[in-house]
Copies of this chain bind each other. A is one copy, B any other.
């Protein structure tokens, strides 16, 4: 009630423990991997007692949600940058896909937390599916710019969903060693991604390349 404009985050003793805990979680995630991401380890990393986080998060899941939320922000920014850098609207879809998979490969632990929490609640975060902004809408707009018929809204939604699923599937599989020889054959990991996207029907109708 009192200070609603500064949001709920303004701890007294620590400065901003909520913020510190999320950062500590990110640090643990980077250093030790998802399996080491325990509430106690995060509290330890932040230098507080194991019970302290409970004044800022209902339970461990809520901390994970906060970490995942930051991940979605980062992913959204990466997609925005890729879209801005695309040379043509035809190329933009493939660039989005490559940027998506590269993000997952560069932040594997974070990406895993993002989808683990999403699947636990059977919901992608709202920010992804917003009609006005968010990654989902970026993909949809790019599809329209690439030539899809904006009047056929069902078709557009299906195409957007298909593209997202394809990219997510590749992102999850990209780490498997079975595909190492394909990466070599394609001349590098990113070239491999492009080759795979070539086989996925990301761009509507006409071939982009």
Residue ranges of A at the interface with B (Cβ–Cβ < 8 Å): 112, 115, 118-119, 122-124, 129, 154, 157-159, 161-170, 172-173, 175-179, 182, 185-186, 195-201, 205, 207
- The chain B residue with its CB closest to the CB of A197 is B162
Compute how far the CA of A154 lies from the CA of B118 in the bound complex, rounded to whole angstroms. 35
Q: Contact: B170 with A165, CB < 8 Å?
A: yes
Q: Contact: B176 with A123, CB < 8 Å?
A: yes
Compute how far the CA of A182 lies from the CA of B115 in the bound complex, rounded to whole angstroms. 21
Compute how far the CA of A121 lies from the CA of B178 in the bound complex, rounded to whole angstroms. 11
Q: Contact: B172 with A123, CB < 8 Å?
A: no
Which residues of B have CB within 8 Å of A124?
A: 176, 178
Q: Contact: A176 with B115, CB < 8 Å?
A: no
Q: Contact: A119 with B200, CB < 8 Å?
A: no
Compute how far the CA of A197 lies from the CA of B199 in the bound complex, rounded to whole angstroms. 13
Which residues of B have CB within 8 Å of A129?
A: 178
Q: Contact: B165 with A169, CB < 8 Å?
A: yes
Could you say which of B168, B176, B200 contacts A200, with CB atoms under 8 Å apart?
A: B200
Compute how far the CA of A110 lies from the CA of B94 in the bound complex, rounded to whole angstroms. 32
| Contact A175 B122, CB 8 Å, known A169-B167, A199-B159 | yes
Q: Contact: A118 with B159, CB < 8 Å?
A: no
Q: Which of A167, A176, A199 has the most CB of B within 10 A?
A: A199
| Contact A161 B179, CB 8 Å, known A169-B168, A200-B201 | yes
Which residues of B have CB within 8 Å of A176?
A: 118-119, 122-124
Q: Contact: B177 with A123, CB < 8 Å?
A: yes
Which residues of B have CB within 8 Å of A159?
A: 199
Q: Contact: B201 with A199, CB < 8 Å?
A: yes
- The chain B residue with its CB closest to the CB of A35 is B120
Q: Contact: B162 with A200, CB < 8 Å?
A: yes
Compute how far the CA of A203 lies from the CA of B207 in the bound complex, rounded to whole angstroms. 15
